[in-house]
Amino acid sequence: MSTNNASRGGIHRRNFLRTSGIAAAAIFGGAALAACTSAVSEQKAGGDDATPVRGGTLKVGIREDLVPANLLTNTAATPVLVGLVYESLIRYPNDSLEPQPLLAKAWQLAADGRSVSLDLRDDVKFHSGRVFTAKDVEFSIRTYADPKWSAQLRSTAAAVTEFDIVSPTRIVLRFAHPVSNIFDLLDTVPILDSETADKLGTGETYIGTGPFTFVQRIPNSQLIFAKNSGYWIPDRPYLDRVDVSIVPDPQALLNALKTGQIAAARELTFRDAENLSNSGGFTVHNLEGAELQTYVGVNVSEPSLADVRVRQAIAYALDRERIVTEVFRGAGYPLNVPWPKNSPAFDESLNTRFSRDVGKAKQLLAEVNKPPRLPLTFHPGHEATAQIVQANLAEVGIEVDLDPIDNAAFVKQLTGQQFRGLWVTDHSWAQFVPSTLTVSAYPFNARRNASRYESPAYTAAADTAWKLPQGTGPDAVRAFRAVTDQLLEGLFLIEIGVRFQQYSTSNTVHGFGWTKRREPLLTDTFLS
């Protein structure tokens, strides 16, 4: 049973953190308190023992602007905004699924998995000065469950059917059924300010409890944040300000970093990041624990793709190692299964099921009618991968036409089940409790997915994994194995491999960290 009792999250722990001066290291950390370490300290540049310096402005460049209507998704600039302005109830370390305290300091998950009791911090205020209470937990989860926001864990939020507010600092969440990924929800839902919630979709203001306050948004140009002087972690953050510039062109982004106009850049090209890391003066952070996974999607309602043998041929044709080496420049690894290696669902014995075998692919295609030319749709950033996939498929006798479209059109086709043939993109959420992938991620949703794939057996396996009392342990592993078996049997999504999103920083930046959703954690960040 997952618990966090007073011995882990109570007065003793809080006093230790305050007196030791490493509150952020423990609360934002990636390891047990006894180890006196954190995700931030583990993931900053090796050997970085610089003395923290207060003040200064961190200038960051990213390629996509904020879409206010997508605040409760994990797209474009949203992770930056959420990481700076908002906080959640708990936070996973990047290397495990063991929840750690954040706005909730302790919790108790019922043995039957149908409720969780949360004890909240009593020293947290919103940026407006209003005190954070249990009512804000209820408001935030109910808002997250509202279909208008298209939040990807909405089904999990909707399974919370009762909010029992015991006191301002204690709330009990009750569920319609056991929810194995409840801590994924508590890690993901940003605690929102009910008094300004009507402005969330306009980009006018964002009020949270996090280390930085929202100052201004200049559409397609800049996001500006300032230090939260009333932050509940003593003496944090170190920075006075964070200025985020929108720089869509990767070459311009690289030039801005190299010339010192910015000190951190998200998503340079993999080749540029590789060259930069070899040049000295810069550090490239692979966001391990926050994996993205690149895949080929298949519209199984297309007659030529309905036969699973065609999909198997595609899986055997893919040169995953080449893509990881040439496109990702080694910042990732090949996969046949939809889980990163640190997932409780990962099974090495299944990860070679469809290793590249051109002969096997041709043999399977000889058993069926040759598919007609198909479109292979992709969006910016995936052209090189799509070109290799095109060449791989041509080698076994499947011809595809590259179909580049912009991001907005791609998302519309993904969520609207509008792809005409094949597509290449990334999925996320596999780094969380595995049941989250099959009930939340658009490509994998057992009841409605972009591939138009329907299978009672897959739906049953997904539901079983989701409705377990907890997301770890032998029962969960067996349930996840059943899900994996169904995915490999249906093969409506064909995995290529993990790719790590990257931040490249000047070596004047210290203490850079991130969450499992690729949100930058700048609480401990300082400039030298």
Tens-place pLDDT, residues 375-433: 999 998 899 999 999 999 999 999 999 999 988 889 889 988 999 999 999 999 999 99
HEC per residue, 339-360: CCCCCCCCCHHHCCCCCCCHHH
CA-wise closest residue to 491 among 377, 362, 337 = 337
- For residue 63, pLDDT over 90 is answered with yes
Q: How far apart are the first and last CA of the chain?
A: 44
Least confident segment among 50-54, 273-277, 411-415: 411-415
Cα gap 264→253, rounded to integer Å: 10
HEC per residue, 128-156: CCCECCHHHHHHHHHHHHCHHHCCCCHHH
**By the 8 A CB rule, do 452 and 489 touch?**
no
- For residue 123, pLDDT over 90 is answered with yes
Q: Which residues pair with 67 in a beta bridge?
A: none
Model pTM? 0.87
- Band of residue 16 on the pLDDT scale cut at 50, 70, 90: very low
pLDDT of amino acid 303? 95
- For residue 328, pLDDT over 50 is answered with yes
- Band of residue 39 on the pLDDT scale cut at 50, 70, 90: very low
Write phi, then psi, for 449 (nearest 5 degrees): -130, 165
- Band of residue 152 on the pLDDT scale cut at 50, 70, 90: confident
Cα gap 208→213, rounded to integer Å: 8
- For residue 32, pLDDT over 80 is answered with no
Looking at this protein, which amino acid is placed at residue 382?
H
For residue 526 the two structure tokens come to 């300082």
Tokens 């960290």 -> residue: 513
**By the 8 A CB rule, do 194 and 139 touch?**
yes
CA-wise closest residue to 93 among 151, 39, 159, 40 = 39
Least confident segment among 90-104, 154-168, 435-449: 435-449
Number of helices (H), then strands (E), in the chain = 18, 24
Report residue 79 CA to chain centroid gap.
Answer: 9
pLDDT of amino acid 426? 94
Q: What is the mean pLDDT of the chain?
A: 89
* Percentage of the residues of the chain whose pLDDT score is greater than 70: 91
- Band of residue 22 on the pLDDT scale cut at 50, 70, 90: very low
- For residue 507, pLDDT over 90 is answered with yes
Mean pLDDT of 93-110: 96
- Band of residue 44 on the pLDDT scale cut at 50, 70, 90: very low
**By the 8 A CB rule, do 125 and 132 touch?**
yes
**By the 8 A CB rule, do 103 and 191 touch?**
yes
pLDDT of amino acid 483? 96
pLDDT of amino acid 29? 30
Each residue of 379-389: pLDDT tens digit? 988 999 999 99
- For residue 23, pLDDT over 90 is answered with no
- For residue 282, pLDDT over 80 is answered with yes
**By the 8 A CB rule, do 139 and 197 touch?**
yes
Least confident segment among 43-57, 68-82, 96-110: 43-57
Tokens 């929840």 -> residue: 99
Half-sphere exposure of 341 (CA within 13 A, CB side): 10
Cα gap 356→283, rounded to integer Å: 34
- For residue 251, pLDDT over 80 is answered with yes
- For residue 15, pLDDT over 50 is answered with no
Cα gap 184→431, rounded to integer Å: 10
- Other C-beta atoms closer than 10 Å to the C-beta of 165 total 14
Specify the DSSP class assigned to residue 232: S
- Band of residue 37 on the pLDDT scale cut at 50, 70, 90: very low
**By the 8 A CB rule, do 257 and 384 touch?**
no
- Band of residue 495 on the pLDDT scale cut at 50, 70, 90: very high
Winning range, highest mean pLDDT, from 20-24, 65-69, 321-325: 321-325
Looking at this protein, which amino acid is placed at residue 181?
N
**By the 8 A CB rule, do 126 and 115 touch?**
no
Tokens 């009841």 -> residue: 447
Beta strands 526-527 and 104-109, pairing class: unpaired
Specify the DSSP class assigned to residue 327: I
**By the 8 A CB rule, do 263 and 508 touch?**
yes
SS3 470: coil
Q: Which helix (H) or strand (E) holds 516?
A: none
Half-sphere exposure of 410 (CA within 13 A, CB side): 20
Tokens 């006075």 -> residue: 240
Report residue 422 CA to chain centroid gap.
Answer: 24
Give, in order, the Cα–Cα distances in Å from 69 to each of 127, 147, 207, 244, 278. Answer: 21, 12, 16, 19, 39
Cα gap 410→380, rounded to integer Å: 10
**By the 8 A CB rule, do 397 and 374 touch?**
no
Rounded to the nearest 10 degrees, the angle between the axes of helix 474-490 and helix 456-466 is 160
- For residue 479, pLDDT over 50 is answered with yes
